[in-house]
Chain A
Amino acid sequence: MRTALRAIGLALMVLVAGCSDSGTTTTTPAPITGPFKDIFTSIIYPGGFSAHSFSSGAAGTITVTLTSAGPPDTVVMGLGIGVPNFGPGCSLTTAVNVSAGSTPQITIPADAGAYCIAIFDVGNTIPTGENFSITTVHP
């Protein structure tokens, strides 16, 4: 009977210890997905042009907002988006004359790739250096 009990004990040990799931669980980090916000803040001077490059990791819509400029805050500036090659920092695809606001002044579809935004004096507005801030949202 003692032998039988030993056998039972052995069987239980085998069942408890031998059947564990030794598989490992791998957690894959979630990919970082957009949209991404990019804020470009600087100073632009009379007759000046200021550009800033960024990369869009996927195709989608890019929005550009001149959120502040001035003083005065009603100053009209050129605002554009293009590609960062050939020319003074940014070859523009499209541009508009705008004053600062909270609604995107440029909304444009784009493939993944390198892009740039630019702000420039449209020739009649800034007597001295003007602070500005541009927010770009892209995939």
Chain B
Amino acid sequence: MSVARFFAVLVVLCLAVGCSDTRTTQPAPTPPAVDTPAGSEFFGGTLVQQGTNFFTFTVTTAGRVDATLNSLRTTTTMPVNNIAVGLGLGVPSADGTSCVVSVSAIVTPSLTAHLTTQAPAGANCAQISDVGNLVVPLTFVVRVAHS
């Protein structure tokens, strides 16, 4: 009978200590903060000599904004990629008649972002301007990626 008691105690001990999970639990890795624009939109038009064009867009969540001059061309199909123009990002003026640029560069067409900045939520703007290089009007396409 004492032997039976001994094994009964053994069973209880097995239940108590034998089934512990010895694996260590690793916390799920925290993904790095991603500050990637959620989408993009295109703006196009014709830039004339000494001219400036700007377009407004709405940022839903403050964060990164990229601007890229994608294309410049005359009336022909062949693109013009040896003429530099001014490209800027900012916010519309209080009266909405201009773009108050906070970051800018003189650029030629590319498929990679020319400007990257942090933009506030709300109305923002992109601006393209002749910096003295145009001899004829040019058709342009600018891509703005933002949240």
Contacts and interface: CB of A to CB of B under 8 A. Distances in A.
Interface string B2-14: 0110111011001
A109 B112 contact: yes
Interface in A80-123: 80-83, 85-88, 91-95, 108-111, 113, 115, 118, 120
Which of A19, A49, A113 gathers the greatest number of chain B CB atoms within 10 Å? A113
B141 interface: yes
Interface string B26-55: 000000000000001010100000000000
A14 B7 CA distance: 12
A85 B23 CA distance: 55
B139 interface: yes
B7 to A, nearest CB: 3
A120 B23 CA distance: 64
A11 B70 contact: no
A118 B79 CA distance: 12
Contact of A91 (B14, B40, B44): B44
B8 A7 contact: yes
Interface string A1-39: 101101110110011001101010000000000000000
Contact of B42 (A86, A93, A118): A86
Interface in B121-137: none
B11 A7 contact: yes
A91 B19 contact: no
Contacts of A93: 70-71, 79, 81, 109-111
A93 B108 CA distance: 9
Interface string A110-138: 11010100101000000000000000000
Given A80-B79, A108-B111, A91 B15 contact: no
Interface of B: 1, 3-4, 6-8, 10-11, 14-15, 18-19, 21, 23, 40, 42, 44, 66, 68, 70-71, 73, 77-79, 81, 109-113, 139, 141, 143, 145
